[in-house]
Structure 1
């Protein structure tokens, strides 16, 4: 059961090198996030921190979905069937927050 072979009789090479590369990239991004979270002043750089965290979260999600869910090697139409609904959900959340009066509310 543990002997996985390719159709031509050769054993498939383990992809540990690619997984370790993704691991180190995710570790570095997480370390940078921690440095930003504890290094920047919350009062002065509030929106800068939020924008940086959103961008870094999207980059980390790209690596996780692309490598561990094997979406990077798929055809473009399948990738767009996953990304397009996610973009609409983000748009819906932004629209609901803005129209609900949450953003721009004076305290």
Structure 2
């Protein structure tokens, strides 16, 4: 007995080959960008010695690059990039402010513990 309630989703893709090429190009660009940013983070982490004068700058750069990657992932994979500008700000701004607040607390408490020792 053949079921008629099963939908074959592979036949439901209604886009042309040009749209498919465009989608695959976007996927490769996202992969390339995230790979490059991650490689920059790894290279900086391997090259700069902990405790040196540039280490604070590298830590702040790590945080900035990580936030860049997180924002880009949200924009692309969660389709927030397709929304209106005001909705993007309403969603991303509270998270950005919260992260800045957490960074302030971490740096303040970290320096207080360092001075106490």
Query: Above 0.5 in TM-score?
Result: yes
Quick one: higher RCO (CA 8 Å, sep 6+), 1 or 2? Answer: 1
Partner of 1:61: 70
Asked which structure has the greater CA Rg, the reply is 2
Q: Is 1:71 aligned to residue 83 of structure 2?
A: no
2-structure distance, mates of 1:91, 1:60: 16
**Mind listing any 5+ residue stretches in structure 1 that lack a counterpart?**
6-10
| TM-score relative to the length of structure 1 | 0.79
Please state how far the C-alpha of 1:40 moved relative to its aligned partner: 0.5
| TM-score relative to the length of structure 2 | 0.73
Alpha carbons 1:19, 1:67 under 8 Å: kept? no
Partner of 1:47: 56
Partner of 1:16: 24
Partner of 2:33: 25
SS at match of 2:65: helix
Partner of 1:93: 102
1:35–1:97 distance in 2 versus 1, CA, 3 Å: closer
Instruction: Note the alpha carbon deviations across 1:48-107, whole angstroms, 9 max, x for none.
Output: 111110111122112211111111121012111211221332244245447xx6143202
Instruction: Note the alpha carbon deviations across 1:7-43, whole angstroms, 9 max, x for none.
Output: xxxx252311011011011111111111111111111
Q: Could you say what the CA RMSD is over the residues aligned between the two structures, in angstroms?
A: 2.0
- Structure having the higher helix fraction is 2
